């Protein structure tokens, strides 16, 4: 089995190859990213229980079609998430540092017209996560913990490998669980904002039962045992898969 360091070396080697193809033509870039961003929206929402198929997700996002028998919330989850990807892409292209306002804006997009009262606002009540032994931060300590979160980012953003920085920010965010709803989607978007800002590809953790279970189990191990190696490995392997997929799409289009 490969070590985390070996996987990171493979990722950087693949990124070096990818950089040789950049910049892509606007047409090529749009075709590739539209497909990947729809797939990412589908998988990220599926992790959280959205029942749309990949095709239904694409129809709702790209054609504005309403899927019969599906709840309006599921339609909004697809539309909002796709818009949130566009938002983090814009932030990444500007090379802006992660700020609290940016994080809250991402969350606001995720919950737009779903829960406007709580969109972009830290929770004021305590919560428990179903099926998890981890207890999120007390509501009264959320701002304090989020301040620590951003201090960690500032201190580590130029020291940690971008893949590890993204994984750490994901894990620390869901451990705090600062919002009533939408924490998982927001955490994955923050992770991908960091990756895109450094020229890496979005990590797409699939919503299959096996993948979702591995994702939750490695996160919980990090939260309850302070052992994050498995989660870092999961994110690194997902990034390696994504960057190789991106390369294959470029080569097949040439």
Among candidate residues 170, 227, 250, 157, the one with its CA nearest the CA of residue 203: 170
DSSP 8-state code for residue 141 = G
Decide if 177 is catalytic. yes
d(CA 43, CA 76): 15
106 vs 85, 183, 189, CA distance in Å?
9, 10, 8
The 10 Å Cβ neighbour count of residue 17 is 14
State whether residue 210 is helix, strand or coil.
Answer: helix
Catalytic residue among 75, 107, 170, 177: 177
Residue 207's contacts (CB-CB under 8 Å, 6 or more residues apart) are 42, 43, 44, 45, 46, 47
Q: What angle do CA 7, 31, 209 make, to 5 degrees?
A: 50
The set of catalytic residues is 177
């Amino acid at each position: 089995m490969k070590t985390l360091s070996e996987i990171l070396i493979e990722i950087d080697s693949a990124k070096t190859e990818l950089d040789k193809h950049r910049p892509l033509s606007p047409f090529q870039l749009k075709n590739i990213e539209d497909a990947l961003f729809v797939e990412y929206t589908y998988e990220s929402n599926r992790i959280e229980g959205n029942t749309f198929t990949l095709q239904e997700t694409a129809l709702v996002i790209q054609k504005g079609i309403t899927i019969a028998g599906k709840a309006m919330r599921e339609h909004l989850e697809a539309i909002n998430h796709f818009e949130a990807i566009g938002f983090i892409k814009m932030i990444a292209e500007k090379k802006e540092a992660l700020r609290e306002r940016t994080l809250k804006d991402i969350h606001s997009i995720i919950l737009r017209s779903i829960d406007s009262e709580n969109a972009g606002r830290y929770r004021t009540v305590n919560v428990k996560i179903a099926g998890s032994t981890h207890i999120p931060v007390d509501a009264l300590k959320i701002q304090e913990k989020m301040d620590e979160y951003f201090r960690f980012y500032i201190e580590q953003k130029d020291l940690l490998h971008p893949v590890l920085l993204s994984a750490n920010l994901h894990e620390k965010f869901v451990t705090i669980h600062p919002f009533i709803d939408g924490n998982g989607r927001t955490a994955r978007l923050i992770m991908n904002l960091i990756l895109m800002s450094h020229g890496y590809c979005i990590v797409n953790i699939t919503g299959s039962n096996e993948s979702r279970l591995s994702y939750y189990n490695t996160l919980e191990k990090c939260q309850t045992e302070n052992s994050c190696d498995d989660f870092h490995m999961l994110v690194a392997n997902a990034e390696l898969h994504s960057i190789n997929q991106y390369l294959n799409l470029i080569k097949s289009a040439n």
